[in-house]
Structure 1
């Protein structure tokens, strides 16, 4: 039911506008978020008492798969960051007051969330972040900056990671719920990206931003642990998205190869094209099965940190390879901005970088296997 209704909505109300939104470098986020909220798509794994449907984690995977039909990974990323990453943080860690303030309107699409972890000098090395929060009576005063923040320039609140004890390294990180209207918060700049063009990505600055102690999300100095736990789900979503993007590229390549005529026949008739298509389809199916198996392990609460890293690594690198081959089948037309394959090619490049680089995934896998 969820898959059918979401697919119908996306194909009718979102996908037809994707090309325009990509060219504009943004989409009418207030309108789109509100519409998704009205239809119940922003809270599929959120408890019913806060407006969600409590359909479980697998429902969020269905959501991620169908969002790939937006024809814009940027739109999917913006909505997915809010519904599948920001809101679950609050659902899992928030107080009753925080849930009423952020979760309820967030599920309705009335407010938009962002996650502030990455910094100009701290990407994969989360523990080296410099943003800090100093306790001052019943408040904390926050100073620092965040980089590459999805939804950063349009968000109403940011789940911000900052050090409350700079002597403890990663063990001194605490997360705060920060309203973007708080004095001292500024959007330093919106960032111009290779891909995900319709998705807002920004650099944020925090200058003497004062928040109450009640803004702490979860326990004080438990931020690093919480980030790592939620990274598991983020990496699964990225792997799911990568498989869907690769499948979309394959479908486009198959369709084009049947229509494109060279040397008197469709290029689909040439063995080199058929073998290329065969390799692409095989890689996609292998990644899909790895992803589904890892999701099963995660849902059954089996230890699967290695499998999640493998899943993210393989699926995202597979998508980059497959989409590159799909573009090759299009030849010169694939290099033209009027064909959607170029957008898939650009969007796919974030996969081996975002949510933990391929290098970090290999390090996780190797370290845990060699323990």
Structure 2
């Protein structure tokens, strides 16, 4: 297909790449070691180059840009030496804020969205629970109405930015309707009495971002903090998940391309049996095939992006994209670490980190098995 990117898109690509090199790359190792990064400080810097809320209205602190700028940004974030920072950034720029931007009242957007787009407030999305992961319809956290307030009780887990967030986009039950019915999205300030971080979680990968378990004990917020319609939160959340899967896939394509390029560079300079490793034809063919697989996935994601930009339903294509990206990322990461040998197994190397970080893509945002279940229904082959 003809390149969808204009000269302006490519200029933005260079801006993001330079930003990553100057403001992110030098600090990744320290943030990974600390298990946290300075979210407000870094998000403010991201905002200074217009990277947060690219497609949101300018009145809400966004840039009013087209979707291809999001593709560019996501691909370039794939060149960060870890997945933790891009993941936390995506929560701020898309996952926790998309429903607020689309469905929020003017008052909610002015109070929470606008400063978040400037990086002045840190956002998190609170959906997953200890007993309800990819099965969103099974969540139990309850918001009971008491006059003009919601009184919230329950727990959320695996919350990215959870220890630093100023506010949450919370999905909670607001009626007795079963399953996916009767849920609402609610803005919950984290300073509200009764809301506590019960623990900060240690992870296999993505170590540079904070991940929390949250407990809600009679947390009281105004009903006016509801995003969109009461009892329509599940539907709004599913719409947001489509965008989450797309941006994760764009980013994964950038990560895989960068990982393969770096692995080829290593194979050129690493010698064994009197010649560079890259002289081995088996290694050449394997890497060439992986480059081809990444190219196929990239073209598919561009097709998805075109559909999204045209306002088409992307529920199925975003599911396919995320499923294939997660599986291909595991293959690429495994090959890269294998071809680096012993040095790749050392924890301080980029390839070891990539191997650990890449594994999350087949779990977060909908596990592979959940995506396959969705596809069987969409293809009409479920029993």
Q: Distance in 2 between matches of 1:6 and 1:238?
A: 17
For residue 301 of structure 1, report the CA deviation from its aligned partner.
2.1
Task: Provide, for residues 263-285 of structure 1, a one-character-per-residue CA deviation record: whole Å limited to 9, x for no partner.
Answer: 11001001111111112111111
Separation in 1 of the partners of 2:53 and 2:235?
24
Secondary structure, aligned partner of 1:171? coil
Residues 34-93 of structure 1 show CA distances to partners (whole Å, capped at 9, x for unaligned) of 212233221211211122210022222222112122212101111111012222221101
SS in 2 for 1:145: strand
Equivalence for 1:253: 263
- Structure 1 residue 188: deviation in Å? 0.8
Map of 1:145 onto structure 2 = 155
Q: How do 1:188-227 residues align onto structure 2 when only pairs under 5 Å count?
A: 188-227=198-237
CA contact (8 A) 2:151 2:220 kept: yes
After superposition, what is the alpha-carbon deviation per residue over 1:93-145, rounded to whole angstroms, capped at 9, x for unaligned?
11000010011111110001001100000011111111001110111100000
Any gaps of 5 or more consecutive residues in structure 1?
A: none
Cα distance in 1 between the residues matched to 2:314 and 2:85 = 29
Q: SS at the partner of 1:69?
A: coil
Say if 2:242 and 2:314, in contact at 8 Å, map to a contact too: no
RMSD of aligned Cα (Å): 1.2
5+ residue gaps, structure 2: 1-10
Q: Following TM superposition, by how much is the alpha carbon of 1:3 offset from its aligned partner in structure 2, in angstroms?
A: 1.6
Q: What's 1:154 paired with?
A: 164
Q: Which residue of 1 aligns with 2:180?
A: 170
Q: Which of the pair has the greater relative contact order for Cα pairs under 8 Å at 6+ separation?
A: 2
Asked if structure 2 preserves the Cα contact closer than 8 Å seen for 1:10 and 1:70, the reply is: yes
Distance (Å, rounded) in 1 between the aligned partners of 2:48 and 2:248:
25
Structure 2 CA distance, aligned partners of 1:66 and 1:86? 21
Question: C-alpha displacement at 1:238, in angstroms?
Answer: 1.2
Alpha-carbon displacement from aligned partner over 1:317-355 (angstroms, at most 9, x marks no partner)? 101111111111111111012321011100100010010
The residue aligned with 1:289 is: 299
Is the partner of 1:242 in helix, strand or coil? helix
Aligned residue for 1:304? 314
Determine if contact 1:11/1:69 at 8 Å carries over to the other structure. Answer: no
